[in-house]
């Protein structure tokens, strides 16, 4: 695991940005957080692990995920949003997540006062969660069956206009990086994961940049897998490897963001 540091213009607080922990053991992440003492901790989803049928996900068995959230909430104000691995959460399970002390942003936002500046932080839930809640996908469908019918299910974006119009500095936790076309231009900072860095990374001599080979919902040679994109979106390579193939040239990372 590496620590990646970014300076973002206007960002009002030191932020630790976690992504795609997938119920991994929290020790190294917590050691890093304790050494940095960020003002805010955010997690853009996939803190649980278990994509397939509903019966595969038992939140009470995701001890690492709950421990991570509980410990983060003890260290700093912690805000989390919903990734595709949280798609099948029930209302009771959402309350269990909230009981760890984190603020769960489920297609919603909060307004904070940080160093005298209004900071608006929103969480755009995975479209898989939205589709399941609306009965468009069923818990018994496999990922490939869902993909055949839906490609990537669209997120619920009705609330984004209010969020983006609120006065202050806007930070959007958005698990899926490929949702960027939905985000209003007034949102200053967008944090995403899900792509796992593209699993295998290589240096593209043509563009002179590192890029990934495959990412879920983007397919082969995805464009959005890591780093700063478009000046306002930071994509984390994630903090675990839930895939059946190893990562290559692709360290897991914890991202630290400061203002400048
Ligand atoms: Fe994901």
Which is more confidently placed, 96 or 57? 96
- Taking the centre of ligand 1 as the mean of its atom positions, its distance from the CA of residue 121, in whole angstroms, is 20
Largest CA distance in the chain: 50
- Taking the centre of ligand 1 as the mean of its atom positions, its distance from the CA of residue 207, in whole angstroms, is 26
214 and 200 Cβ atoms separated by less than 8 Å: yes
- Taking the centre of ligand 1 as the mean of its atom positions, its distance from the CA of residue 178, in whole angstroms, is 11
CA distance 120 to 161: 13
What pLDDT, on a 0 to 100 scale, did the predictor assign at position 89?
Answer: 86
- Taking the centre of ligand 1 as the mean of its atom positions, its distance from the CA of residue 73, in whole angstroms, is 22
- Taking the centre of ligand 1 as the mean of its atom positions, its distance from the CA of residue 194, in whole angstroms, is 4
Q: What percent of the chain has pLDDT over 90?
A: 81
- Taking the centre of ligand 1 as the mean of its atom positions, its distance from the CA of residue 66, in whole angstroms, is 18
- Taking the centre of ligand 1 as the mean of its atom positions, its distance from the CA of residue 87, in whole angstroms, is 10
What pLDDT, on a 0 to 100 scale, did the predictor assign at position 139?
Answer: 75
- Complete domains list, the chain, with CATH: 2-259 (3.60.21)
pLDDT band at residue 149, thresholds of 50, 70 and 90?
A: confident
Q: Where are the beta strands (DSSP E) in 32-150?
A: 40-43, 77-81, 103-105, 108-114, 117-124
pLDDT band at residue 51, thresholds of 50, 70 and 90?
A: low
CB-count exposure of residue 220 (10 Å: 0-12, 13-18, 19+): exposed
* 191 closest CA partner among 123, 94, 92: 123
Phi and psi dihedrals of 93, rounded to 5? -70, -35
What pLDDT, on a 0 to 100 scale, did the predictor assign at position 137?
Answer: 84
Tokens of 63: 């001890």
- Taking the centre of ligand 1 as the mean of its atom positions, its distance from the CA of residue 76, in whole angstroms, is 24
- Taking the centre of ligand 1 as the mean of its atom positions, its distance from the CA of residue 99, in whole angstroms, is 23
The number of angstroms, rounded, from the C-alpha of 15 to the middle of its chain's C-alpha atoms is: 14
What is residue 53's three-state secondary structure? coil
Q: Can you tell me the mean pLDDT for 206-211?
A: 93
Q: Is the pLDDT of residue 118 over 90?
A: yes
- Taking the centre of ligand 1 as the mean of its atom positions, its distance from the CA of residue 234, in whole angstroms, is 15
pTM: 0.96
pLDDT band at residue 140, thresholds of 50, 70 and 90?
A: confident
- Taking the centre of ligand 1 as the mean of its atom positions, its distance from the CA of residue 85, in whole angstroms, is 6
- Taking the centre of ligand 1 as the mean of its atom positions, its distance from the CA of residue 36, in whole angstroms, is 26
What pLDDT, on a 0 to 100 scale, did the predictor assign at position 143?
Answer: 75
108 and 157 Cβ atoms separated by less than 8 Å: no
pLDDT tens for 176-205 read 999 999 999 999 999 999 999 999 999 999
Average pLDDT, the chain: 93
- Taking the centre of ligand 1 as the mean of its atom positions, its distance from the CA of residue 17, in whole angstroms, is 15
187 and 181 Cβ atoms separated by less than 8 Å: no
Sign of CA dihedral 182, 140, 193, 13: positive
CA distance 68 to 65: 5
Q: Can you tell me the mean pLDDT for 60-67?
A: 89
What pLDDT, on a 0 to 100 scale, did the predictor assign at position 169?
Answer: 97
Neighbours of ion ligand 1 (CB under 5 A): 46, 83-84, 194
- Taking the centre of ligand 1 as the mean of its atom positions, its distance from the CA of residue 193, in whole angstroms, is 7
- Taking the centre of ligand 1 as the mean of its atom positions, its distance from the CA of residue 168, in whole angstroms, is 29
Q: Can you tell me the mean pLDDT for 72-101?
A: 93
120 and 168 Cβ atoms separated by less than 8 Å: yes
213 and 199 Cβ atoms separated by less than 8 Å: yes
Q: Is the pLDDT of residue 54 over 70?
A: no
Residue bearing tokens 């082969």: 220
* 172 closest CA partner among 234, 87, 99: 234
- Taking the centre of ligand 1 as the mean of its atom positions, its distance from the CA of residue 51, in whole angstroms, is 9
């Amino acid at each position: 695991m590496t620590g990646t540091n970014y300076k973002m213009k206007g960002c009002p607080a030191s932020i630790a940005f976690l992504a795609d922990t997938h119920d991994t053991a929290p020790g190294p992440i917590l050691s890093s957080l304790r050494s940095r003492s960020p003002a805010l901790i955010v997690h853009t989803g996939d803190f649980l692990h278990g994509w397939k049928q509903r019966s595969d996900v038992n939140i009470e068995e995701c001890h690492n995920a709950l421990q991570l959230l509980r410990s983060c909430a003890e260290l700093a104000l912690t805000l989390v949003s919903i990734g595709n691995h949280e798609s099948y959460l029930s209302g009771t399970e959402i309350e269990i997540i909230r009981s760890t002390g984190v603020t769960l942003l489920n297609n919603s936002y909060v307004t904070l006062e940080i160093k005298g500046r209004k900071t608006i932080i929103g969480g755009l839930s995975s479209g898989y969660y939205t589709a399941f809640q609306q009965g468009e996908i069923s818990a018994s469908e496999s990922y490939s069956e869902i993909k055949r019918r839906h490609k990537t299910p669209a997120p619920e974006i009705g609330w984004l206009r209010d969020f983006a119009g609120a006065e202050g500095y806007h930070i959007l936790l958005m698990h899926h990086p490929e949702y960027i076309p939905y985000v209003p231009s007034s949102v200053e900072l967008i944090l995403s994961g899900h792509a796992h860095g593209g699993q295998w990374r290589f240096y593209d001599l043509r563009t002179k940049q590192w890029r990934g080979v495959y990412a879920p919902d983007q397919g082969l040679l995805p464009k959005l897998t890591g780093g700063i994109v478009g000046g306002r979106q930071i994509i984390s390579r994630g903090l675990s490897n839930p895939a059946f193939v190893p990562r290559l040239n692709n360290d897991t990372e914890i991202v630290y963001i400061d203002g400048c």
